Structure 1
Amino acid sequence: MKMKLIISIIMITISSQFNLAQLDRTKIPAPSEAPAVSFPDYDLVTMKNGMRVILVKDDELPTISISFLIDREPQLEGEFAGSIGIMGQLLRNGTKTRTKDKLDEEIDLIGGRISSFSTNVSASGLAKYTEKLFELTSDIILNPAFPQDELDKVKEQAISGLKYRKTDPNSIVSILRQKVLYGSNHPYGEFETEESISKITQQKCFELYNSLFKPNQAMIAVVGDFDKKKILNLLEKYFGSWKKGQIPEPKFAAPQIPSQTNVAMVDRPSSVQSVIRVSQVVDLKRNSPDVMPVSIMNTILGGGIFRLFINLREKHSYTYGAYSSMGPDDLIGNFTASTSVRNEVTDSALSQIFYELNRIRDEKVESKELEMAKNYVSGSFVQSLERAESIADYAIEIERYNLPKDYYKTYLKRIYNVSADDVQRVAKQYLKPNQMTIALVGSAAEVKEKLAKFGPITMYDEDANIIVEKPLSEIKLTADELLAKFVEVSGGAEKLNSVKDRTVELSGLVQNINLKVKVVNKAPAKLYLEIDFGGMFTQKIGYDGVKGWAVSPQGTMDIEGSNLSDLKTQALINFYLQYKDFSIKANIAGIKTIKEKDYYEVVFEADTTNKWTEYFGKDDFLKFRQIKSAESPAGKVEQTTDYLDYKDYGGILYPAKQVQSVMGQLIDLKVDKLEVNTGVDDAIFVKPVK
Structure 2
Amino acid sequence: MRSIFSILLLSLFASGLMAQLDRSTPPEAGPAPQINIGEYEKFTLKNGLRVFVVEDHKLPMVAYNLTLDIDPVFEGEAAGYVSLAGDLMRSGTTNRNKAEIDESIDFIGATLNTHSKGIYGRSLKKHNATLLELMSDVLMNPTFPQEELEKSLKQMETGIQAEKNEPSAIANNIASVLRYGKDDPYGEVVSEENLANITTGHLKTYHQTYFRPNAAYLVIVGDISVKEAKKQAKKYFGDWEKAEVPGHTYSQWPTYEAPKVAIANRDGANQSTIMVTHTLPLTPGHPNAIKASVMNQILGGGSFNTRLFQNLREDKGYTYGAYSRLSTDKRIGYFSASAQVRTSVTDSALNEILYEMERMQTELVPAEDLELIKNMMTGSFSRSLEDPQTIANFALNIERYDLPADYYRTYLEKVAAVTAEDVMAMAKEYLNPEQAIILAVGEADKIEEVMRGFSPASEVTRYDYYGHEVSGAVAVSDITAEEVIERYLNAIGGPEAIETIQDVTTTATAAIQGMELKMVTRQKAPNKLLVETMMGNNVVSKQVFDGAKGKVTSPMGEQELEGEMLEQMKEGSAIIAETNFLKEGYSIELQGVETIDNRECYKIIVTRPSGNESTAYYAVADGLKYREVSSTPQGNMVTNIKDYKEVEGFMFPQAISQSVGPQNFEVTIDSIEINTGMEDAVFEN
Same fold (TM over 0.5): yes
Q: Aligned runs of 1:590-609 on 2, under 5 Å?
A: 590-606=592-608, 609=611
Take 1:349 and 1:600, find their aligned partners in 2: how far apart are those partners?
Answer: 33
1:309 matched to 2:309? The reply is yes
Which residue pairs with 2:340 in the alignment?
Answer: 340
1:54 is matched with which residue?
Answer: 52
The residue that corresponds to 1:377 in the other structure is 377
Q: Which position in structure 1 is the counterpart of 2:680?
A: 681
What is aligned with 2:295?
A: 297
2:466 to 453, 463, 468: 463
SS of corresponding position for 2:144: coil
| SS at 1:464 equivalent | coil
Q: Which amino acid aligns with 2:448?
A: K
1:142 equivalent to 2:140? Answer yes
CA gap of 1:682–1:275, structure 2 versus 1, over 3 A, is farther
Q: Distance in 1 between matches of 2:670 and 2:240?
A: 55
1:518/1:402 CA distance change after superposition, 3 Å: same
Could you say if the C-alpha distance between residues 27 and 517 of structure 1 is closer, same or farther in structure 2, counting changes exceeding 3 Å? farther
Contact preservation (8 Å) 2:507, 2:672: yes
* Aligned pairs (5 A) from 1:201-220: 201-220=199-218
Aligned match for 1:163, one of 158, 161, 164: 161
The whole-number CA distance in structure 2 between the counterparts of 1:679 and 1:207 is 57
Which residue of 1 is the match for residue 227 of structure 2? 229
The equivalent residue for 1:668 is: 667
Distance 1:251 1:234, change over 3 A: same
**Matched residue of 1:269: which SS?**
coil
Mapping for residues 495-514 of structure 1, pairs under 5 Å: 495-514=497-516
How far residue 565 of structure 1 moved from its aligned partner, in angstroms, is 5.0
8 Å contact from structure 1 (residues 489, 622) kept in 2: yes
CA contact (8 A) 1:516 1:532 kept: yes
Aligned positions of 1:86-101 closer than 5 A? 86-101=84-99
Return the letter of the residue paired with 1:348: S
Contact 1:76 1:250 in 2 (8 A): no
One-letter amino acid of the structure 2 residue matched with residue 616 of structure 1: Y
Q: Look up the match of 1:244.
A: 242
Cα distance change on mapping 1:671 and 1:110 into 2, 3 Å: closer
Counterpart residue type for residue 671 of structure 2: D
- Superposed CA deviations along residues 233-271 of structure 1, whole A, max 9, x for unmatched, are 332333333343221121211313312222322212122
Q: Which residue of 2 aligns with 1:361?
A: 361
1: CA distance between counterparts of 2:191 and 2:107?
38
Change in CA separation of 1:113 and 1:357 when aligned onto 2, cut-off 3 Å: same
Counterpart in the other structure of 2:393:
393
| Corresponding residue number in structure 1 for 2:261 | 263
- 2:625 is matched with 623
Aligned twin of 2:9: none
AA matched with 1:584: Y
Q: Distance in 2 between matches of 1:204 and 1:684?
A: 53
- Equivalent residue for 1:516? 518
Structure 2: distance between partners of 1:201 and 1:488? 40
| Structure 1 residues 556 and 670, CA gap change in structure 2 (3 angstroms) | same
Count how many residue pairs are aligned between Structure 1 and Structure 2. 660
Q: Return closer, same or farther for 1:486/1:42 CA change in 2, 3 Å cut-off.
A: same
- Quote the residue 2:16 is aligned against: none
Shift of the alpha carbon at 1:478? 0.7
Cα distance change of structure 1 residues 210 and 682 upon mapping to structure 2, 3 Å threshold: closer
* AA matched with 1:151: L
Residue 684 of structure 1 and its aligned partner are, at CA, apart by 2.6
What amino acid is the match of 2:158? Answer: S
Task: Name the CA distance, whole Å, in 2 between partners of 1:165 and 1:211.
Answer: 31
Offset at 1:106? 3.6
* Cα deviation, residue 621, structure 1: 0.9
Q: Give the whole-Å Cα distance in 1 for the aligned partners of 2:365 and 2:569.
A: 55
In the aligned structure 2, how far is the partner of 1:151 from the partner of 1:516? 25
Q: Secondary structure at the match of 1:415?
A: helix
Q: For the structure 1 residues 658 and 204, does the alpha-carbon distance in structure 2 shift closer, same or farther, using more than 3 Å as the test?
A: closer
> How far 1:527 moved relative to its partner?
4.1
Residue-by-residue CA offset, 1:48-96 (whole Å, 9 max, x unaligned): 3322222222333332222211111111111222222222222223333
State the TM-score, normalizing by the size of structure 2.
Answer: 0.89
Structure 1 stretch 145-154 or stretch 111-120: which is displaced more?
145-154
1:186: Cα distance to partner?
0.6
Pairing partner for 2:642 from 620, 644, 647: 644
Ranges in structure 2 where 5+ consecutive residues have no aligned partner: 1-19
SS in 2 for 1:483: helix
Tell me the residue number matched to 2:589: 587
Residue 282 of structure 1 is aligned with which of 257, 280, 283?
A: 280
**Residue deviations 1:318-349 (CA, integer Å, cap 9, x gap):** 22222111121111111112222222222222
Percent of aligned positions that are identical: 35
Distance (Å, rounded) in 2 between the aligned partners of 1:432 and 1:117: 34
- Root-mean-square deviation (CA, aligned residues, Å) is 2.7
CA distance in 1, matches of 2:510, 2:473: 36
Q: What's the CA shift string for 1:516-565, capped at 9, x where partnerless?
A: 33444455545443333444543333455566543333233354665455
Q: Which segment drifts farther, 393-402 or 146-155?
A: 146-155
1:465–1:564: structure 2 CA closer, same or farther, 3 Å change rule? farther
Cα 1:464–1:674 change in 2 (3 A) is farther
- Alpha carbons of structure 1 residues 535 and 339: separation in structure 2 relative to 1, 3 Å: farther
Give the whole-Å Cα distance in 1 for the aligned partners of 2:39 and 2:532: 66
Separation of aligned partners in 1, 2:563 and 2:251: 55
Task: For 1:631, give the aligned amino acid.
Answer: P
AA in 2 matched with 1:102: E
Q: Is the 8 A contact 1:586 1:603 kept in 2?
A: yes
Residue in structure 1 matched with residue 419 of structure 2 by the alignment: 419
- 2:27 and 2:252 map into 1 onto residues whose CA distance is 46
Q: Are residues 618 and 293 of structure 1, via their aligned partners in 2, closer, same or farther at CA, if it must alter by over 3 Å?
A: same
Report the Cα offset of residue 648 of structure 1.
Answer: 3.6
User: Partner residue of 2:111?
Assistant: 113
Letter aligned with residue 360 of structure 2: I
